[in-house]
Chain A
Amino acid sequence: MRILLSLIETLSVFVVLFYFYTRSRFFRPQKSEWLGRRGKLSLFVFCSALTMVGNYLGIWLEGGVVANTRAVGSMIAGIAGGPFLGVAVGVTASIHRLSFGGFTAVSGSMGTIFDGLLGGLVHLRRRNRPESLFDWRVAFAVTAFGEICHMGFVLLVSRPFSASVEAVKIIGPPMILTNSIGAALFMLVLRERERVVDQVAASSSAKALKVAQRTLRLLGNGLGNVALELAAIVRAETGVGAVAITDSETILAFDGLGADHHVPGNAIASSLTRQSIGGREVVFADGVHDHYHCSIVPDCPLDSVLIVPLVVDNAVVGTVQLFEPETRRFRNLNKSLGEGIAALLSSQLLMARYQEQKNLLTVSELKLLHAQVNPHFLFNALNTINAIIRSDPERARELLVHLSHFFRKNLKRSGELSTLAEELEHVGAYLEIEKARFQDRLTVETEVDPSLLGIRMPTFTLQPLIENALKHGLSTKLSHGTARIRARREDQQAVIEIEDDAGAYVERRGSGLGMRIVDKRLKAVLGESCGVDVTCVPDELTRVTVRMPAEGVLQ
């Protein structure tokens, strides 16, 4: 009975050690992630120490028999770290035990190593089900079994046999009981710790979700318009000293301590912010090792800061900054929360951008649809052909073929690709009709490098540009006009120019969208280096230049 109580006393020391271990930074509670090298090392050190403490606090009996709680250490190492770690701790503990001497030293060492191995086997068996591995009942049962075997080793190995029987009678029941309880207690402490971590995680995710909910509605309007409201929400939810939101150049909003001199609209002065934007990285000055130094006012109360860049489409569009004054510690919770909120804002901004692009796409699709039908052109063409039927039925027939050719191409899907030859054919059909309409008022000159005829580009790249040149350029001229279409190679690029000699671009209205759509589609398919440019010399010429790689869109 005395032995039992003493061993339970030892256990209370263990529980204290468990507690500190599970709170230390060496300990990782996530069961789903098995221990890495560092975790295993720390577990080895901890469990080995545990076994040694067990040795020292053991109860010495006659003949060098020690009633102890050494088994807890190797068992925990085995269950949590696997057979290798369990045996390693067992061996360490055994060497330590052997140095004490006594006739149960060898059998006891064998028992401890066996416990480690046993725990390791259980680990292997239940590895896929961590829930059932870290169960106090399992730990209790396995340890009890291990200690019974331990007693078996004593009877088998230790001589004289009679003394062994005597020793087992005295130390057996208390050791089996206390070691099992010890292992079970560790699991319970572990569980408790996990629960706390879960709770903290739950409360911070709840906060993050709340911020998400409150900001979602705002960000559709873009960062600049809602930064003030956003900063206030983030500060209210995190409770930090101050919150700032910047774009890549200026402070958009500041809420909290130091608002008197951190004024929205000012350019970013902090080197930490520039570091965050430039390096696209989270910058954290914790107020202990690194400090935030306000560059505006020397006695600014803010001392620690977390700066998280807002990254949209691989570019930094701004930052979210959380500050704490000198008098308060920057809580880790707020650090992870700040990073989470920034990630959230980034994705919401991306979403808003996506939405905007989708809207533009809808507008451009509608515009395209209208262009496909092109009523003004259609009826004028019909009227022209109608007139020509009187004088020259053969010519009228030709024009009808051109017209149907044009509309057939027009009804192609906008997502498809066409070769330059096909695009020129489409444009050619259009120009044939327009030449018939305007007669001697319109001349078209084409000059195309034949080696470029095969390159592919999005369908409807040239037609809208030609149509603009006629509709907004040449048709406003009272006198004769000339349209020029050129395609040539220039520094690995295919350069296509559409030029009219009206020079009326500045007065063009509504031509912007058509050109913007062509530009966007080229950039989307071929990258940012491609696209459409306009140069205009008033009353002289308007030149629209399309640039793309000389090989066009590859299939």
Chain B
Amino acid sequence: MIRALIVDDEVHAREELAALLSETGAVTVVGSAPDAIAGMRAIRQLRPEIVFLDVQMPAVNGFEMLSMMDDVDLPDVVFVTAHDEFAVRAFEEGALDYLLKPISRERLAKTLERAGRGTPPEARPAIAKAPITRIPCAERKAIKLVRVGDVESVRSTLAGVYLVCGSAEYATDLTLQTLEARAGLLRCHKQHLVNLDAIDQISLADNSAAAIRTRSGQTVPVSRRYLGQIRERLGL
């Protein structure tokens, strides 16, 4: 049995696909998500082998969602969409398959056949190199999309990853690794990223480490290991 996750903002589309998948007898639908943010969480929590991903979704679309995840977390991806304008891009993003709604049983069987052959993760083409411009953050009741330009630094704690924007902080599901690779933020410490544009001052300490003061007056530690890089990027 293949463990599958469905991410689609339309309830009927989710139900229809779930029904079709169950009918095959080869798939267990382990969950479904109504948007990309819930989708990312579901992927991390449920560890599906395959995700059926709608392209057009509110706030964060399917392509953006892929770029917000670490490659190691990603299962096989099958894009599902109503119109074929994204087909080429979907395959450039390394998708396993591309399905058009409404989905026929025969076509779905082919997709599963392809999935059943099993591609080892390392042989899969790298997915999603698109830069991230807005970072989804969970607030109590809503999802906030924080523009990368507003982020001064990012810190990772045991409780999770936090974006520091002046006096406000937002928790995000994205990892430091992803943010470093695709949001253009710079690593300055094992547990910190900094936005180069937000740096106000760097003060060197005795132990050859340093501290950055951001434009809003927050302090971000710089470890010895990353100081060289930072200096280089600032042209010092």
Contact of A379 among B9, B58, B83, B142 (CB under 8 A): B83
Interface string of B15-41 (1 = CB under 8 A from A): 110010000000000000001010000
- Determine the chain A residues whose CB is within 8 A of the CB of B101 once the complex forms: 379-380, 382-383
- Determine the chain B residues whose CB is within 8 A of the CB of A437 once the complex forms: 10, 12
Interface string of B74-86 (1 = CB under 8 A from A): 0000000011000
Contact of A390 among B11, B19, B100 (CB under 8 A): B19
How far apart sit A473 and B159, CA to CA, in the bound complex (Å)? 34
Most buried by B among A375, A387, A475: A387
Judging by beta carbons under 8 Å apart, are B16 and A380 in contact?
no
How far apart sit A441 and B58, CA to CA, in the bound complex (Å)? 11
Interface membership of B46, Cβ < 8 A:
no
Nearest A residue (CB) for B82:
A379
Nearest A residue (CB) for B59:
A478
Judging by beta carbons under 8 Å apart, are A478 and B16 in contact?
no
Nearest B residue (CB) for A374:
B83
Interface membership of B209, Cβ < 8 A:
no
Interface membership of A438, Cβ < 8 A:
yes
Judging by beta carbons under 8 Å apart, are A387 and B143 in contact?
no
Interface membership of B116, Cβ < 8 A:
no
Judging by beta carbons under 8 Å apart, are B15 and A375 in contact?
no
Contact of A383 among B16, B35, B37, B143 (CB under 8 A): B16
- B209 → chain A, closest Cβ, in Å? 41
Interface membership of B13, Cβ < 8 A:
yes
Q: Please tell me the size bucket of the interface on B.
A: 20 to 34
Judging by beta carbons under 8 Å apart, are B16 and A477 in contact?
no
Judging by beta carbons under 8 Å apart, are A478 and B58 in contact?
yes
- Which positions 369-385 of chain A face chain B at CB distance < 8 Å? 375-376, 379-380, 382-384
Interface membership of A476, Cβ < 8 A:
yes
Judging by beta carbons under 8 Å apart, are B59 and A379 in contact?
no
Interface membership of B102, Cβ < 8 A:
yes
How far apart sit A382 and B13, CA to CA, in the bound complex (Å)? 10
- Determine the chain B residues whose CB is within 8 A of the CB of A441 once the complex forms: 9
Judging by beta carbons under 8 Å apart, are B12 and A387 in contact?
yes
Interface string of A62-79 (1 = CB under 8 A from B): 000000000000000000
How far apart sit A382 and B102, CA to CA, in the bound complex (Å)? 7
Contact of A376 among B9, B16, B83 (CB under 8 A): B83
Judging by beta carbons under 8 Å apart, are A380 and B10 in contact?
yes
Judging by beta carbons under 8 Å apart, are A375 and B83 in contact?
yes
Nearest A residue (CB) for B18:
A387
Judging by beta carbons under 8 Å apart, are A478 and B142 in contact?
yes
How far apart sit A387 and B142, CA to CA, in the bound complex (Å)? 29
Judging by beta carbons under 8 Å apart, are A477 and B13 in contact?
no
Contact of B82 among A376, A436, A438, A479 (CB under 8 A): A376
How far apart sit A69 and B148, CA to CA, in the bound complex (Å)? 106
Nearest B residue (CB) for A376:
B83
- Determine the chain A residues whose CB is within 8 A of the CB of B35 once the complex forms: 478
- Determine the chain B residues whose CB is within 8 A of the CB of A388 once the complex forms: 12
Instruction: Indicate whether A384 sits within 8 Å of B13 (C-beta atoms), given known contacts A390-B19, A479-B142.
Output: yes
Contact of B11 among A376, A380, A439 (CB under 8 A): A439
Nearest B residue (CB) for A436:
B12
How far apart sit A376 and B86, CA to CA, in the bound complex (Å)? 12
Judging by beta carbons under 8 Å apart, are B82 and A380 in contact?
yes
Contact of B16 among A387, A439, A476 (CB under 8 A): A387
Judging by beta carbons under 8 Å apart, are B58 and A387 in contact?
no
Nearest A residue (CB) for B142:
A479
- Determine the chain A residues whose CB is within 8 A of the CB of B59 once the complex forms: 476-478
Further pairs besides A384-B13, A390-B19: 18, Cβ < 8 Å: A375-B83, A379-B101, A380-B13, A380-B82, A382-B101, A382-B102, A383-B13, A383-B16, A383-B82, A383-B101, A383-B102, A384-B10, A386-B16, A386-B102, A387-B19, A390-B15, A477-B59, A478-B143
Can you give 11 contacting A-B residue pairs, CB < 8 Å?
A379-B82, A380-B13, A382-B101, A383-B102, A383-B103, A384-B10, A384-B13, A437-B12, A438-B9, A477-B59, A478-B59
The 9 A-B residue pairs whose C-beta atoms are closest, nearest first, are A387-B16, A379-B82, A387-B12, A383-B101, A386-B102, A380-B82, A383-B102, A376-B83, A384-B12
| Chain A residues at the B interface, C-beta cutoff of 8 Å | 375-376, 379-380, 382-384, 386-388, 390-391, 436-439, 441, 475-479
| Chain B residues at the A interface, C-beta cutoff of 8 Å | 9-13, 15-16, 19, 35, 37, 56, 58-59, 82-83, 100-103, 142-143
